[in-house]
């Protein structure tokens, strides 16, 4: 039994490094959910096996360190903070997109406990990290295939994502892998050392092509810190005139970084840099004025939330409500719904107040201090491992964590804990379970507990993630089958009901516009979405995002008054968010309350008049309400023209029969998108609306000649146009 438990725990720990390669396409958010569910199950199995080992053999019992106190304190405090948070359910369970929350935190802590003891007793730390770097090599190979155009980049840009699905996640993962490879190279000889050293530039290249500046800065800061720390620890040798290789490498690394950084700074505006998206992105760290303004605004909002509750915070996953409550209109062109501060220190402050922040920082500092004092490590090893933690600490200023920043970070912290751990006398004095009956009972109890935990923690949500991906995908049996999958996903009892219901609302809105689908079925889907969103709002009534989703469900079901009521409730929760006031104005206009609509449009615009999109939406709404002069005045003030390229203005001028303005807006669209056929066909429609049929015909024929692929639709438009002439 002991050997079985030992091997099961070891195998579970050694499978974890392979999870970056696991991408199950049959789950919703496959790059996130698959890895996280597998990680949780592996940790649960490893923990049960480890507990049995600790009962059978004193050597495997946990040891005391102040790192353990800080980490355990953080996990325990977050239970309190989450219970008092704005959404305790989400705080504990998170969602499919993030798979974070307290459940992940406690699994990470369990990994820390198991690895910190088991890999130390078995002397397997080097092998575990070799597996980690070996898998990272495969991930880099995937990234290089993406770079060469042989595989899809999942974020739809040039930035490499490999099998992690996100450029930043990949970059942080490789940042840790680079330091791990350096540490392993010190401990290796011959071909293994050469292979590990060769991995470092390979991973550095892929990291560069992720275009992720935070991890890149973290890597640079870590290398610089390593050089400075080495020089400091070697100061006696240096003062004595010693020219050892380590001193030369440290000094050379500092000089190389300063030269490269200085060169990039000097040539940042050159054509070579600006024409390369990755070099220009790296060079942009010298001129982050706009981005720093955005980040500083978000951080300021977060700190306002901390001031409101500095002790227990808002709970994990509570930042979205801080973002809404303290929203600044200057953020209009950013994401509508931020759920992270993009700064781990501030994220912990928001989630768990000052105690969580102190415990998190203490955890990092204690780990660094423990490694610095580790007697079983060489100076070079200590320098590299501490520098890896420094690199993490720097990039954490602008990046939030994910599973594969947590895993290598916690494994480093577990190594630090192992280096400073001392026996816990009470645990050591507990007798070992030796009788066959005792071993059998303990083993059976742990097996049952593990099965129950795996089933309750993971299986319902895994089923829901599976059903949801099919609910939003085309099905052979049609929309009825999609609806069936949605009903299964809701009934699975997962932690991610918000995402399921939001997807259901979007699906219902899409189906409502498809007239070929029978009206009773469309109504059934709309009412089902409405009923489900009502449940979600009831569970978290103070979330402005949910109010918007609820309003959308009412719109799809045809209840505009009720939709307006939800928008207005959302405004009380996020009073300065322009998108809410614009949505309110749309509903007011639909209800015929034109004066109120105009007031809502103007309020949205006056929150921050610097945004052209808000100005255009406001002007279009005012024009539709009958005040052409006031609408044009806003356009002139914000854009210097009354006829910019805009679908909403095209509609407004069409509805108010301002034919010359209508044509001018359509012409602006053609100038903005000269290679697209749609704007030219829209211009033809504008000519026809103005009664200029010859020009409309000429434009359609010219479009057909330039874009033969639209001949059928263009000729149909031409026939309809002249049938009504």
> What is the DSSP annotation of 292-353?
HHHHHHHHHHHHHHHHH-TTTTT-TT-HHHHHHHT--GGGTTS-SS----S-HHHHHHHHHH
Answer whether residue 243 shows pLDDT above 60. Answer: no
- Sign of the torsion angle spanned by Cα atoms 690, 692, 693, 697: negative
Q: Is 409:364 a contact under the CB 8 Å cutoff?
A: no
Is 439 among the domain residues? no
Whether the pLDDT of residue 138 is over 90: the answer is: yes
Same domain, 517 and 541: yes
Considering only CA atoms, give the Rg of the chain.
30
Q: Write the pLDDT tens digit of every residue in 30-50.
A: 999 999 999 999 999 999 999
* Residue 268, pLDDT score: 80
Name every residue whose Cβ is closer than 8 Å to that of residue 571 and which is 6 or more positions away in sequence: 577, 580, 581, 584
Beta strands, E only, 538-613 = none
Neighbour-count burial of 494, counting CB atoms closer than 10 A to its CB (0-12 exposed, 13-18 middle, 19+ buried): buried
Q: Count Cβ atoms within 10 A of the Cβ of residue 689 and give its class: 0-12 exposed, 13-18 middle, 19 or more buried.
A: middle
Range 472-499 average pLDDT: 95
pLDDT digits (tens, 9 = 90+) for 140-161: 999 999 999 999 898 777 899 9
Give the pLDDT band of residue 264 (cuts 50, 70, 90). Answer: confident
CB-neighbour burial class of residue 585 (10 A; exposed 0-12, middle 13-18, buried 19+): buried
- Report yes or no on 649 lying in a domain: yes
User: Which of 655, 688, 705 delimits the end of a domain?
Assistant: 655
Predicted structure pTM score: 0.93
Please answer whether residues 509 and 555 qualify as being in contact, where contact means their C-beta atoms are separated by less than 8 angstroms: yes
Please state, in angstroms and rounded to a whole number, the distance separating the CA atoms of residues 368 and 366: 5
Distance between CA 31 and CA 163 in Å, rounded? Answer: 7
CA distances from 237 to 197, 252, 253 (A): 26, 17, 18
11 in the same domain as 39 = yes
**661 and 649 in a common domain:** no
Residue 451: count other Cβ atoms within 10 Å of its Cβ. Answer: 12
Element (H, E) at 354: helix 344-372
Question: How far, rounded to the nearest angstrom, does the alpha carbon of residue 712 sit from its chain's CA centroid?
Answer: 43
Same domain, 177 and 262: yes
Q: Which of 17, 7, 107 is nearest to 50 (CA)?
A: 7
**pLDDT tier at 283, thresholds 50, 70, 90:** confident
**591 and 613 share a domain?**
yes
Kindly give, in sequence order, each residue whose CB lies less than 8 Å from that of residue 403, ignoring residues fewer than 6 positions away: 19, 32, 35, 36, 39, 99, 104
Which residue has better confidence, 161 or 233? 161
> How far is the C-alpha of 582 from the C-alpha of 348, rounded, in Å?
33
Query: Is residue 452 a part of any domain in this protein?
Result: no
Angle between helices 544-557 and 519-539 (to 10 degrees): 160
Q: Is the pLDDT of residue 442 over 70?
A: yes
Angle, in degrees to the nearest 10, between helices 647-655 and 659-672: 160
**Confidence grade of residue 279 (pLDDT, cut at 50, 70, 90):** confident
> Are residues 69 and 191 both part of a single domain?
yes
In a domain, 474, yes or no: yes
In the predicted model, what is the mean pLDDT of residues 242-270? 79
State whether 238 and 301 are in the same domain.
yes
3-class secondary structure per residue, 147-197: HCCCCCCCCCCCCCCHHHCCHHHHHHHHHHHHHHHHHHHHHCCHHHHHHHH
pLDDT tens digit string along 384-418? 999 999 999 999 999 999 999 999 999 999 999 99
Contact 696, 721 (CB under 8 A): yes
Task: Provide, rounded to the nearest whole percent, the portion of the chain with pLDDT above 90.
Answer: 78
- Rounded CA-CA distance 158/181 in Å is 27
C-alpha to C-alpha distance for 66 and 514, rounded to whole angstroms = 62
Residue 129, pLDDT above cutoff 70: yes
The whole-chain average pLDDT of the chain stands at 93
The answer to whether residue 451 sits within a structural domain is no
pLDDT-derived band at 242, boundaries 50, 70, 90: low
Show the domain range for 682.
Answer: 656-725
Query: 167-187 and 125-147 helices cross at what angle (nearest 10)?
Result: 130
Q: What is the 3-state secondary structure (H, E, C) of 462-516?
A: HHHHHHHHHHCCCCCCCHHHHHHHHHHHHHCCCCCHHHHHHHHHHHHHHHHCCCC
**pLDDT above 70: percentage of residues in the chain:** 98
For 572, other C-beta atoms within 10 Å of its C-beta total 11
In the predicted model, what is the mean pLDDT of residues 444-469?
97
Residue 239 in this model has a pLDDT that exceeds 70: no
More confident residue, 263 or 299: 299
Are 540 and 404 contained in the same domain?
no
Which of the listed residues 374, 406, 429 is the one where a domain comes to its end? 429
pLDDT of 355 over the 90 cut: yes
Read off the pLDDT of each residue in 528-556 and give the average, rounded to a whole number: 97
649 pLDDT more than 80: yes
Confidence of residue 204 (pLDDT cuts 50, 70, 90): very high
pLDDT score recorded for residue 725: 58
pLDDT given at position 158: 87
Tell me how many degrees the CA angle 261-263-267 measures, rounded to the nearest 5: 120
CATH number at residue 477: 1.25.40.10
| Same domain flag for 357 and 326 | yes
CA distance 651 to 707: 25
**Domain total of the chain:** 3
CATH classification of the domain holding 670: 1.25.40
What is the reported pLDDT for 724? 60
137 token code pair? 């090599």
Q: Quick one: 361 and 293 in the same domain?
A: yes
The predicted structure's pLDDT at residue 669: 93
The predicted structure's pLDDT at residue 366: 98
- Single residue among 655, 671, 705 that ends a domain in this structure: 655
Distance linking the first and last C-alpha atoms of the chain? 89
* Token reading at 476: 């052979």
pLDDT at position 357, please?
98
Mean pLDDT of 343-356: 98
User: Does the residue 665 lie in any domain?
Assistant: yes
Helix 594-607 × helix 612-624 angle, to 10°: 170
Residue 447 belongs to a domain: no
Same domain, 283 and 393: yes
646 and 703 share one domain: no
pLDDT at residue 284, as a whole number: 82
| Residue 459 backbone class (left: φ over 0; alpha: ψ -120 to 50; beta: rest) | alpha
* Residue 456 per-residue DSSP state: H
Query: 126: alpha, beta or left, given left = phi > 0 and alpha = psi -120 to 50?
Result: alpha
Residue 451, pLDDT > 90, answer: yes
DSSP state of 433: P
Q: What is the pLDDT of residues 594-625, one digit of tens each?
A: 999 999 999 999 999 999 999 999 999 999 98
Residue 449 inside a domain? The answer is no
Please give the helix or strand (H or E) that residue 63 lies within, else none. strand 63-64
């Amino acid at each position: 039994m002991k050997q079985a438990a030992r091997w099961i725990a070891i195998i579970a720990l050694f499978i974890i490094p392979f999870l970056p390669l696991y991408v199950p396409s049959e789950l919703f958010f496959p790059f996130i959910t698959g890895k996280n569910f597998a990680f949780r199950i592996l940790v649960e199995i490893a923990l049960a096996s480890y507990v049995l080992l600790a009962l059978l053999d004193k050597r495997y019992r946990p040891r005391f360190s102040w790192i353990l106190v800080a980490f355990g304190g953080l996990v325990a405090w977050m239970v309190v903070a989450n219970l008092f948070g704005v959404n305790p359910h989400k705080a504990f369970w998170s969602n499919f997109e993030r798979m974070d929350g307290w459940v992940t935190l406690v699994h990470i802590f369990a990994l820390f406990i198991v690895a910190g003891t088991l890999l130390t007793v078995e002397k397997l730390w080097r092998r575990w990290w070799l597996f980690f770097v070996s898998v990272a090599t495969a991930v880099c190979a995937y990234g290089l295939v993406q770079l060469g155009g042989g595989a899809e980049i999942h974020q739809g840009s040039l930035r490499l994502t490999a099998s992690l699905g996100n450029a930043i996640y990949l970059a942080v993962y490789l940042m840790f892998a680079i330091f791990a490879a350096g540490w392993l190279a010190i401990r290796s000889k011959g071909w293994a050392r050469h292979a590990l050293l060769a991995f470092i530039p390979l991973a550095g290249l892929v990291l560069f092509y992720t275009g992720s500046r935070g991890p890149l800065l973290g890597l640079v800061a870590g290398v610089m810190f390593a050089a400075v720390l080495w020089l400091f620890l070697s100061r006696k040798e240096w003062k004595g005139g010693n020219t050892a290789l380590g001193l030369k490498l440290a000094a050379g690394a500092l000089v190389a970084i300063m030269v490269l950084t200085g060169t990039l700074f000097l040539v940042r505006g050159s054509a070579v840099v600006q024409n390369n998206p990755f070099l220009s992105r790296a060079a942009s760290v010298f001129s982050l004025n706009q981005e720093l303004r955005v980040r500083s605004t978000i951080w300021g909002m977060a700190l306002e939330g901390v001031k409101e509750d500095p002790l227990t915070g808002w709970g994990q996953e509570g930042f979205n409500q801080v973002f809404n409550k303290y929203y600044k209109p200057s953020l209009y062109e950013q994401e509508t719904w931020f759920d992270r501060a993009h700064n781990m220190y501030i994220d912990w402050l928001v989630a768990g107040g000052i105690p969580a922040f102190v415990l998190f920082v203490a955890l990092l500092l204690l780990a660094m201090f423990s490694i610095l004092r580790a007697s079983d490590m060489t100076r070079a090893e200590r320098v590299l491992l501490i520098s890896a933690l420094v690199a993490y600490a720097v990039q954490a200023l602008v990046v939030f964590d994910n599973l594969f920043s947590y895993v290598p970070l916690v494994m480093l912290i577990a190594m630090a804990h192992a280096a400073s751990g001392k026996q816990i006398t009470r645990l050591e004095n507990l007798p070992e379970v030796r009788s066959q009956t005792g071993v059998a009972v303990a083993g059976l109890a742990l097996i049952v507990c593990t099965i129950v935990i795996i089933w309750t923690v993971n299986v319902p949500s895994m089923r829901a993630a599976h059903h949801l991906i099919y609910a939003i995908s085309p099905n052979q049996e049609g929309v009825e089958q999609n609806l069936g999958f949605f009903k299964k996903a809701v009934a699975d009892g997962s932690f991610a009901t918000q995402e399921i219901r939001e997807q259901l609302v979007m699906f219902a809105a899409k189906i409502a516009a498809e007239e070929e689908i029978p009206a009773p079925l469309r109504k059934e889907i709309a009412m089902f979405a409405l009923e489900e969103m009502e449940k979600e709002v009831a569970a978290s009534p103070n979330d402005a995002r949910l109010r918007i989703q609820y309003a959308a469900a009412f719109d799809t079901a045809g209840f505009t008054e009720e939709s307006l009521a939800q928008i207005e409730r959302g405004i009380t929760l996020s009073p300065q968010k322009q998108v809410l006031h614009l949505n309110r104005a749309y509903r007011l206009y639909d209800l015929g309350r034109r004066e109120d609509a105009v007031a809502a449009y103007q309020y949205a615009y006056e929150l921050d008049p610097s945004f052209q999109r808000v100005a255009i939406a406001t002007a279009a709404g005012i024009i539709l309400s009958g005040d052409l002069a006031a609408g044009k005045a806003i356009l002139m003030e914000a854009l210097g023209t009354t006829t910019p390229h805009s679908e909403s203005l095209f509609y407004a001028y069409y509805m108010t029969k301002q034919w010359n303005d209508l044509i001018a807006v359509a012409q602006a669209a053609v100038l903005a998108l000269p290679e697209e056929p749609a704007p030219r066909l829209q211009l033809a429609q504008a000519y026809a609306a103005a009664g200029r049929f010859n020009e409309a015909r000429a434009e359609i024929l010219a479009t057909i000649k330039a874009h033969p692929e639209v001949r059928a639709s263009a000729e149909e438009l031409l026939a309809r146009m002249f049938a009504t002439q």
